[in-house]
Structure 1
Amino acid sequence: MMKRTFVMAALVLACAGVTTALPVSTARAAEAEVKCDLSFSLSGWSIIYKHAEGSGTVVCSNGQRANVKITVNGGGLTAGKYRIDNGKGDISHVRSIDDVFGDYAQAGAEAGVVKSGEAQVLTKGTTSLALHGSGEGVNLGVSVGAFSITRR
């Protein structure tokens, strides 16, 4: 009887240890979120339809890295031609670099002559992309479209 009680007590303690370990592993998973940075250059035009292409590099805090192609397509009341050099993007809410690739929803209002600037926050599910950059060109209007990042 004594052995049986000892075995039962050991099982109860082991089970208690497992249940207290679950919240700790969940907390560690939340802390392991990856932060990625995008460096890019982009040029494009718009006459009602907006189109731009560019390239860049994504570098993540977990050491992952990729050369990328960027495409912007959309429509709206826009007109102009522009170029963004040395653009930056902060990508959050990702688990790995694979979460970076895809189409981000984009909506914006642009206005600029000669020196042009752009800052936007785009989303793709729970992933967020905050863009900022400056360049040259003439652009005016309101547009809605997609900002796509693919492997190069």
Structure 2
Amino acid sequence: MTKRYLPLLGVLTVFAASTMIPQYASAAEANLDCKMHFQTSSWSVIYKHVEGTGLVTCANGASMHVKITAQGVGLTAGKSRIDNGVGTFTDVHTIDDVLGAYAQGEANAGLVKSGSAQVLTKGTVSLALAGSGQGIDLGVSVGKFTISRAR
């Protein structure tokens, strides 16, 4: 009687194995290398507001112009701009994974020459930001950093 079910068992095994291949492929694709070059300007007096633009490029050739906004609250004051910022994304499957709202915590201090370095997170996707520019800023804030498709 077991010989009778062997062909069926073989077909089920092949089917089960074939359904697992896309899962392994998508896990491997989560390592898509994406970077963002950006510029922002910000002002703050207790409330912090940031606006900017950028270009996200990925190793697979995909690229997208993006709009950057951020809002936060805290003990902060100043005005600054970042001219040559670079962001590196982790755990990205497709370029669309970089879009959305990231949790942000920031501490900064700058006079004339201003700099920024942050690590932001949105679910499993993380974004490490670094940049330099000019301005005056001092404070600590928490908020939301949003990347959206440029219109």
TM-score range, shorter chain: 0.7 to 0.9
- Between the aligned partners of 1:29 and 1:134, the Cα distance in structure 2 is 35
Q: Partner letter of residue 17 of structure 1?
A: V
Q: Which deviates more from structure 2 when the two are superposed, residues 24-33 or residues 64-73?
A: 24-33
Match of 1:121 in 2: 119
Q: CA deviation at 1:118?
A: 0.9
Q: Deviations over 1:74-118 (max 9, x none)?
A: 111111111111101111222222221111111111011122111
TM-score, normalised by the number of residues in structure 2: 0.87
Match of 1:68 in 2: 66
- Between the aligned partners of 1:93 and 1:119, the Cα distance in structure 2 is 19
* Residue 27 (structure 1) aligned with residue 37 (structure 2): no
Q: What pairs with 1:20-99 in structure 2 (closer than 5 Å)?
A: 20-33=17-30, 34-99=32-97
Q: CA deviation at 1:138?
A: 1.2
Q: Which deviates more from structure 2 when the two are superposed, residues 13-22 or residues 25-34?
A: 13-22
Match of 2:10 in 1: 13
- Between the aligned partners of 1:124 and 1:5, the Cα distance in structure 2 is 51
Q: CA deviation at 1:25?
A: 3.8
Of all paired residues, the percent bearing the same amino acid is: 52
The runs of 5 or more residues in structure 1 that have no matched partner are none
User: Secondary structure, in 3 states, of the residue corresponding to 1:95?
Assistant: coil
Match of 2:99 in 1: 101
TM-score, normalised by the number of residues in structure 1: 0.87
- Between the aligned partners of 1:13 and 1:60, the Cα distance in structure 2 is 41
User: Secondary structure, in 3 states, of the residue corresponding to 1:13?
Assistant: helix
User: Secondary structure, in 3 states, of the residue corresponding to 1:94?
Assistant: coil
Q: Partner letter of residue 68 of structure 1?
A: V
Give the greater-gyration-radius structure (CA).
Answer: 1
Q: What pairs with 1:127-146 in structure 2 (closer than 5 Å)?
A: 127-146=125-144
- Corresponding residue pairs, total: 149
- Between the aligned partners of 1:16 and 1:43, the Cα distance in structure 2 is 57
Q: Partner letter of residue 139 of structure 2?
A: G
RMSD of aligned Cα (Å): 2.0
Whether contact under 8 Å (2:26, 2:93) holds in the other structure is: no
Q: CA deviation at 1:5?
A: 7.9
